[in-house]
């Protein structure tokens, strides 16, 4: 199908720009935004991964002000915090030193540091204090997704009861080995109140698991994200990505060989949607839902924000 203007709720950076970089500049952010718009992403949430406190204090208002000054509020409606409220046992490529326990007070502090610009937050459902933190986020108007956890069914249910709405990159952000029955993938699939965000770059999930997720959740409750990093646009080879010494293979796999884990992705959402379409699991109408409509619904946006033309978006710089 033709690209209608995809909506990406998890973009860590692009082509040399890392949104969690302690030296991120406004011009770098705007360049990355322009390149994302040119690559077919019409709306995105810049995503900060688990970071030191000073990075949140610095980068959250920096991004918000860049968006405001350059008229990008429709195309960049807020920030996704993928951390610091994740589980050390499901850390993935994040740095365990910077993990924090979720609490209403910390959620409030990050929200204030961002000047109200947090639109989505990922929380480990099995962390002590998670339900209270989730409830506070929802009162602030922040959408909540759970992930990077070792949550059981009770944890997932409690998170949904508290207001959680989604699952962050279901099937990823986990140890390489899990209990065959009692694990966060099954628990997340079974909770009907939670939509599944998935990364369909051809490396994060095998095609058969994508099919299972789509069959269980249905096209109305699946959201495709890219998990794009600063390596999106890089040539194959060794690279430093999100604080990891990583390798980008010729077929696009980005991984940390020392930790034996993926390190986000090196593609944009348009690539992910083309790969998903190639699996022939969804109709064009359903692809539109998982690549655009469902994401807008999760963050409380409306289709009108999609009306900004790509020419207007790329006038940021």
pLDDT of res. 312: 47
pLDDT of res. 303: 53
pLDDT of res. 302: 62
Model confidence, pTM: 0.93
Burial degree of 218 (CB within 10 A; 0-12, 13-18, 19+): middle
Tell me the fold of 6-307: TIM Barrel (3.20.20)
In this prediction, the residues of the chain whose per-residue pLDDT falls under 50 are: 304-317
CB atoms within 10 A of CB 129: 17
Going by C-alpha positions, the residue among 111, 184, 109 that lies closest to residue 147 is 184
pLDDT of res. 228: 96
The half-sphere exposure of 70 on its side-chain side, counting CA atoms within 13 A, is 23
pLDDT of res. 317: 43
Q: How far apart are CA 297 and CA 83, in angstroms?
A: 22
Q: What is the DSSP letter of 265?
A: B
């Amino acid at each position: 199908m033709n690209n209608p203007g995809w909506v990406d709720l998890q973009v860590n950076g692009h082509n040399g720009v890392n949104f969690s970089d302690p030296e991120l500049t406004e011009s770098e952010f705007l360049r990355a935004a322009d390149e994302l718009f040119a690559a077919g992403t019409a709306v995105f949430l810049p995503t900060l991964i688990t970071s030191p406190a000073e990075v949140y204090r610095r980068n959250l208002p920096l991004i918000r002000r860049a968006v405001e000054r350059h008229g990008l509020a429709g195309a960049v409606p807020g920030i996704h915090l993928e951390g610091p409220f994740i589980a050390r046992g499901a850390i993935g490529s994040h740095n365990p030193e910077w993990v924090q326990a979720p609490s209403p007070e910390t959620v409030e502090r990050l929200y204030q540091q961002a000047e109200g610009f947090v639109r989505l937050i990922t929380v480990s459902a099995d962390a002590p204090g998670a339900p209270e933190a989730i409830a506070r986020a929802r009162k602030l108007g922040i959408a909540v997704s759970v992930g990077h956890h070792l949550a059981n069914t009770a944890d997932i249910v409690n998170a949904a009861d508290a207001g959680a709405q989604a699952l962050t990159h279901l099937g990823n952000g986990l140890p390489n080995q899990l209990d065959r029955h009692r694990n966060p993938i099954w628990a997340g699939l079974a909770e009907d109140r939670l939509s599944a965000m998935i990364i369909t770059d051809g490396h994060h999930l095998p095609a058969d698991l994508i099919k299972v997720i789509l069959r269980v959740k249905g096209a109305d409750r699946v959201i495709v994200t890219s998990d794009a990093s600063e390596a999106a646009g890089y040539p194959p080879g060794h690279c430093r990505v999100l604080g990891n010494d990583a390798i980008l293979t010729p077929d696009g796999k980005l991984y940390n060989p020392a930790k034996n884990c993926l390190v986000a992705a090196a593609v944009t959402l348009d690539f992910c949607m083309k790969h998903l379409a190639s699996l022939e699991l969804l109709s064009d109408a359903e692809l539109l839902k998982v690549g655009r409509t469902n994401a807008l619904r999760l963050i409380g946006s409306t289709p009108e924000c999609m009306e900004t033309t790509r020419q207007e978006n790329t006038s940021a710089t």
